[in-house]
């Protein structure tokens, strides 16, 4: 996701407001839902995380309202949410091509694709 602070997309006040909004979705201490926070979320976050913050599979944006966090410890807090906006983590998976070989990678891809019902 974009770096909302460094790229100047949101002001520090807006980051504070939207972080409180997101925190409110899962009852995190310090979370406050406001019409302004809702508007910032819809305009800047909903494209990837969904209008209701339930996540969007197609965009890869995880749910932000289910109390499940990718990074346990830092994200389940107001500070953790703000940190994601100023220094976003991008989940990285190691490259397996050279370790498994081309054929095995293809077989695995077909297998994992099948696990998702072929979607
Ligand atoms: C371009 C798509 C995109 C946009 C726009 C976006 N995000 Fe994200 N966001 C992601 C992705 C993808 C991840 C997962 C990152 C990872 O895997 O490390 C993420 C992760 C997060 C997390 C951490 C979730 C967790 O479970 O740990 C938070 C909090 C978050 N985003 C908040 C926001 C907020 C608030 C906004 C709007 C100001 C926003 N995001 C805008 C794509 C986006």
For position 57, what pLDDT does the model report?
86
What pTM does this model have? 0.82
Mutate to test the pocket of ligand 1, among 2, 84, 93 (most ligand atoms within 8 A of CB): 84
User: CB within 6 Å of ligand 1 — which residues?
Assistant: 1-2, 4, 18, 22, 44-45, 47-49, 59-62, 64, 69-71, 75, 81, 84-85, 89-91
In a domain, 118, yes or no: no
Q: Dmax of the chain from CA atoms? A: 52
d(CA 35, CA 25): 13
16 alpha carbon – ligand 1 mean position (Å): 15
CATH number of the domain at 30, please.
1.10.760.10
Q: State the chain's mean pLDDT as an integer.
A: 88
In a domain, 72, yes or no: yes
Q: Calculate the alpha carbon distances from 113 to 107, 108, 110 in Å.
A: 10, 8, 5
Model confidence pLDDT, tens digit, residues 41-57? 999 999 999 999 999 98
10 CA closest ligand 1 atom index? 38
Number of domains in the chain: 1
pLDDT band at 95 (very low <50, low <70, confident <90, very high): confident
Q: Which domain holds residue 17?
A: 12-86
Q: Are 20 and 30 in contact (CB under 8 A)?
A: yes
d(CA 24, CA 30): 8
- Token digits for 35? 């019409």
pLDDT band at 29 (very low <50, low <70, confident <90, very high): very high
Q: Are 61 and 48 in contact (CB under 8 A)?
A: yes
DSSP states along 73-89: TTSSSHHHHHHHHHS--
């Amino acid at each position: 996701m974009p770096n909302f602070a460094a790229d100047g997309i949101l002001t520090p006040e807006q980051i504070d407001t939207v972080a409180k909004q997101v925190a409110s979705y899962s009852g995190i201490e310090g979370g406050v839902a406001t019409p302004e926070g809702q508007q910032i979320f819809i305009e800047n976050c909903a494209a990837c995380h969904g209008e209701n913050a339930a996540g969007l599979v197609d965009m890869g944006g995880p749910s932000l309202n289910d109390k499940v966090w990718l990074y346990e410890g830092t994200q389940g807090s107001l500070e953790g949410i703000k940190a994601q906006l100023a220094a976003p983590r991008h989940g990285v998976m190691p490259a397996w091509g050279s370790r498994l070989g081309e054929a095995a990678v293809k077989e695995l891809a077909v297998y994992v694709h099948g696990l998702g019902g072929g979607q």
